[in-house]
Amino acid sequence: MKRLAGEIHQHQGQRALTVVAVLTGSVVLLADLIRLLEMPLRVGLIQARSYRGAATEPGPLEIHAELLPPIKGRDVLLVDDIFDTGHTLEGILPQIQKREPRSLHSAVLLRKQKRQQVAIEPDHVAFQIPDEFVVGYGLDFQDEYRNLPYIAALEPHELQGPPSQ
């Protein structure tokens, strides 16, 4: 996380920054990241989801931007938990760009290898991971496991049914 924050500092300097986190998976990342950023900053939220229920493959992207603060003329950093196919980032960036920020960059905790289906790339990546379904540190499976203080890959048989209770 310190390396990611360092990259952002190197790019942004001490210019004010609006950090926009994608709900719900990036809330843990958001909390840890903003504690490491030293420039003046504001925080905003945007909700996007493409996984529903027991799905392990993304569906149509739904975006809700009602929680965004005014960002016109501001430097904005979009923070997301995972860059998988890339469709979430590809869908959200134009929604934010419509609000006329001065600059717009992206940071992700995880970039899954061999899954990308879009031409865009995140500007900052904390970790590259193999093509496995991961949970923890904000990432979930059927709304479970977000609270794990680490990231873990689920085994294929664990993706077949509901999580244990």
**Which contiguous run of DSSP H or E holds residue 21?**
strand 17-23
Q: Regarding the domain delimited by 2-129, which CATH topology (the fold level of the hierarchy) does it fall under? A: Rossmann fold (3.40.50)
pTM of the model: 0.88
84 is catalytic: yes
CA distance 27 to 79: 9
CB 131 within 8 A of CB 57: no
Annotated catalytic residue: which of 80, 84, 131, 143?
A: 84
Domain ranges of the chain: 2-129
Position 48 scores a pLDDT of 84
With a cut of 60, say whether residue 1 has pLDDT above it.
yes
User: Mind listing the pLDDT tens digit for each residue in 28-75?
Assistant: 999 999 999 999 999 999 998 765 555 555 567 777 878 889 999 999
Residue 36 phi, psi dihedral angles, 5° rounding: -100, -10
Residue 63 phi, psi dihedral angles, 5° rounding: -125, 130
**Is the Cα dihedral 13, 45, 48, 96 positive or negative?**
negative
User: Mind listing the pLDDT tens digit for each residue in 96-135?
Assistant: 999 999 999 999 999 999 889 999 999 999 999 999 999 9
Position 77 scores a pLDDT of 98
Q: What's the average model confidence in pLDDT over 18-32?
A: 95
Band of residue 163 on the pLDDT scale cut at 50, 70, 90 = low
